[in-house]
Amino acid sequence: MNSLLLVLLAIIGYILAYRFYGRFLARKIFRLSPEQVMPSHQFNDGMDYVPTKRNIIFGHHFTTIAGLGPIVGPAIGLIWGWLPAFLWVFLGSIFMGAVHDFSTLVVSARNNGYTIGELTGHIISPGTRYVLQFIMQLLLFIVLAVFAMIVATLFVMYPESVIPVWFQIPIAIWLGWNIRRGKPDLVYSIISLLLLYLLVIAGVHMPVNLPWEDTTNVVVWSVLLFVYVFIASTLPVHKLLQPRDYINSHQLLVAMGLIVLGLIIRHPVLSAPAINSLAFAPGSNVPSPAPLMFIVIACGAISGFHALASSGTTVKQVSREPDALPIGYGAMLTESFLAVLVIVSIAGGLGLGVMDGETILTGRAAYLNHYASWESANGLASKLDAFITGTANLFEAFGIPQRYGQSFVAVFIVTFANTTLDSATRIQRLSLQEIIGTGKGKVRSRLRNRYVSTLLIVSAAAALTFYKPGGQGAMILWPLFGSLNQLMGALALGVVTVYMSAKRLPLQYTLLPMIIILIFTVWAMIQELTGFLKEKETLLVILSGVIIILTGWLMTSAVRVILIKRSSPD
């Protein structure tokens, strides 16, 4: 199939989904109202609760939820063929992911901007609050520890990204200062973006390689990143987080536009198979797509981390309730489109040519170079290389040399991974402050302090990261991440469903997605638990067992509350 045709079909589908399904949910189901008082105004503190223009908060939310997820997940998912990956990304985002992001944003906004963990206590029962907050904290703990190591590794893999990524910080602070002075945000954001691209060129000519071996370099970069996220997540949100994400959102839109331009000019045939028959062959080293594909491809289809972003930082900046539609539903569809572009950049762009030693491989041979087996497909470095090479091939169609094209994409990848890192830190700090509560006492008061709570979070994540040499300690818990992330998505939809039941709203729009993702996630968790038992991974066995039990308790509590609410005459 032609790659350009697939992209055009996706664009039309996303526009129709937003125009009809998204607006239907906003107007007929949730009945968004401009008269609704938003938490950003109600609790405006100039730190976390800050009313913000829709375009700026769209950029923040978009870049927070994007990260590496819509790149790495679909890139690995191509092992099953481009058709299953595309269908899950396209349909999953419209009927599950976008509904998930949008609904958690709206429900949080109508409940004082609480995180999804705190919402659980108010909507289901006080006891279940701690269940979801435990899962939230564990998920965010893994994200913070692992992504520090990942971003550090990316600095080592792509030394040309160091200068533009670190110098983006003062540019973002300058942009935020000008926006607060009333300057036109779009104009100054474009200037900031151009400065970033100049730094990309500088990075190509002045790559920063630390003088030690790679494992030591990863540790050094990790330490610097932990220092950075502590500072970034304790600054007022409008001084660094908002403007940096605003720049990144434009960077991402430009990158997506250039990929589409390359597809228009080259429109390569998809060299990857529509369906990989090895996934269904007995004894094959390629696992069956169910349930693994629905866990591997998370961001771009549905991801529980998005509920943490919607109810964590984003909701505290939304100025008007109707803005929740483009920010919640629209940003998720945009991220899903990015995942589609990743699929065609690899399935089509990679086939234009990839080096294997001294040989140039094209077509199906280029695909098999990365996807000959599950072992070759599963991995960060291999998949990022596939995306960077495929995209750089498309960029060559309109005159960008391979060297600059690869650097452009590498900077794009590292900046978005970095966005996930410090957004996750701020979200985890807000969640921890909710757990501590508002009671009296010196200890509790000190723990609520944003510097103290952030220091606790960053120190714990650093301890896990450096538990093993080379910053590999975080990988101890990484096997739990995929299933834990999707479980968070199912549980968030469960909380929204209970809310809708209490408000006498139709349940099917959140209940059915919740059931589907819960089935695949629990299925995957049971498979993983079996593997952990065989490998005698005691810690992972205990955590997996506890999470499954807590999930059962939370879902049972949710069903009981729904039945009570539905049978109550009031």
pLDDT in tens, 125-144: 888 888 888 898 999 999 89
Mean pLDDT of the chain: 89
Query: CA-to-CA distance for 67 and 69, rounded, in angstroms?
Result: 6
Q: Is the confidence at residue 159, as pLDDT, over 70?
A: yes
Q: Is the confidence at residue 231, as pLDDT, over 90?
A: yes
Residue with tokens 């520890």: 145
Contacts of 63 (CB under 8 A, 6+ apart): 245, 248, 249, 252, 416, 419
Judged by DSSP in three states, 543 sits in helix
Could you tell me which of 99, 134, 88 has the C-alpha nearest to residue 26?
99
Question: What's residue 439's pLDDT?
Answer: 64
Is residue 428 within 8 Å of 141, Cβ to Cβ?
Answer: yes
pTM of the shown model = 0.92
Query: CA-to-CA distance for 330 and 395, rounded, in angstroms?
Result: 27
Question: What's residue 309's pLDDT?
Answer: 92
DSSP string for residues in 229-271: HHHHHHS-TTTTHHHHHHHHHHHHHHHHHHHHHHHHHH--B--
Pairing of strands 359-361, 354-356: antiparallel
| DSSP 8-state secondary structure symbol assigned to residue 466 | T
CB-CB neighbours of 28 under 10 Å: 10
Could you tell me which of 216, 208, 212 has the C-alpha nearest to residue 155?
208
**Tokens of residue 289, six digits:** 């797509």
Is residue 169 within 8 Å of 443, Cβ to Cβ?
Answer: no
Percent of the chain residues topping a pLDDT of 90: 52
Q: How far is CA 5 from CA 83, 182, 249, 335, 345, in A?
A: 13, 43, 25, 19, 13
Q: How far is CA 34 from CA 24, 27, 486, 518, 562, in A?
A: 17, 12, 32, 34, 29
| DSSP 8-state secondary structure symbol assigned to residue 443 | H
Question: What's residue 417's pLDDT?
Answer: 83
Query: CA-to-CA distance for 384 and 381, rounded, in angstroms?
Result: 5
Is residue 39 within 8 Å of 321, Cβ to Cβ?
Answer: no
Element spanning 330, H or E: none
Is residue 26 within 8 Å of 14, Cβ to Cβ?
Answer: no
CA atoms within 13 A on the CB side of 87: 8
Give the distance, in angstroms, between the CA of residue 32 and the centroid of all CA atoms in the same chain: 25
Using alpha carbons only, give the angle 391, 392, 395 rounded to the nearest 5 degrees: 90
Question: What's residue 184's pLDDT?
Answer: 87
Q: Is the confidence at residue 281, as pLDDT, over 70?
A: yes
- Exposure string over 204-228, b if 16+ CB within 10 A, otherwise e: beeeeebeeeeeebbbbbbbebbeb
**Tokens of residue 18, six digits:** 């937003």
| pLDDT range class, residue 358, cuts 50, 70, 90 | confident
| Phi-psi group of 63: left, alpha or beta (phi > 0 → left; psi -120 to 50 → alpha; rest → beta) | alpha
| pLDDT range class, residue 339, cuts 50, 70, 90 | very high
Q: How far is CA 50 from CA 56, 180, 491, in A?
A: 12, 12, 28
- The winner for highest mean pLDDT among 23-37, 47-61, 237-251, 382-396 is 23-37
pLDDT in tens, 212-222: 888 889 999 99
Query: CA-to-CA distance for 337 and 320, rounded, in angstroms?
Result: 26
Query: CA-to-CA distance for 316 and 337, rounded, in angstroms?
Result: 26
pLDDT in tens, 395-428: 988 888 888 888 888 888 888 888 888 888 998 9
Is residue 136 within 8 Å of 431, Cβ to Cβ?
Answer: yes
Question: What's residue 569's pLDDT?
Answer: 64
Q: Is the confidence at residue 44, as pLDDT, over 90?
A: yes
CB-CB neighbours of 342 under 10 Å: 28
DSSP string for residues in 289-315: HHHHHHHHS-TTT--HHHHHHHHHTGG
Query: CA-to-CA distance for 115 and 120, rounded, in angstroms?
Result: 9
Element spanning 29, H or E: none
Is residue 222 within 8 Å of 466, Cβ to Cβ?
Answer: yes
Q: Work out the burial of residue 491: count CB atoms within 10 Å of its CB; fewer than 13 is exposed, 13-18 middle, 19 or more buried.
A: buried
Question: What's residue 533's pLDDT?
Answer: 93
| pLDDT range class, residue 570, cuts 50, 70, 90 | low
Strands of 363-489 (E only): list them.
Answer: none
Query: CA-to-CA distance for 134 and 126, rounded, in angstroms?
Result: 13
Residues forming a β-bridge with 318? 52
pLDDT, greater one: 212 or 360 = 212
Q: Is the confidence at residue 438, as pLDDT, over 70?
A: no
Question: What's residue 515's pLDDT?
Answer: 95
Query: CA-to-CA distance for 271 and 394, rounded, in angstroms?
Result: 14
| pLDDT range class, residue 252, cuts 50, 70, 90 | confident
**Tokens of residue 434, six digits:** 């909710």
Residue with tokens 């959140």: 510
Q: Any idea where the domains of the chain sit in the sequence? A: 3-122+148-434
Residue type, 98: A
pLDDT in tens, 496-531: 999 999 888 999 999 999 999 999 999 999 999 999
Could you tell me which of 255, 157, 131 has the C-alpha nearest to residue 214?
157
| pLDDT range class, residue 478, cuts 50, 70, 90 | confident
pLDDT in tens, 536-556: 889 899 999 999 999 999 999
Query: CA-to-CA distance for 376 and 466, rounded, in angstroms?
Result: 27
Query: CA-to-CA distance for 408 and 399, rounded, in angstroms?
Result: 14
Rounded mean pLDDT, 449-471? 89
Rg (CA), the chain: 23
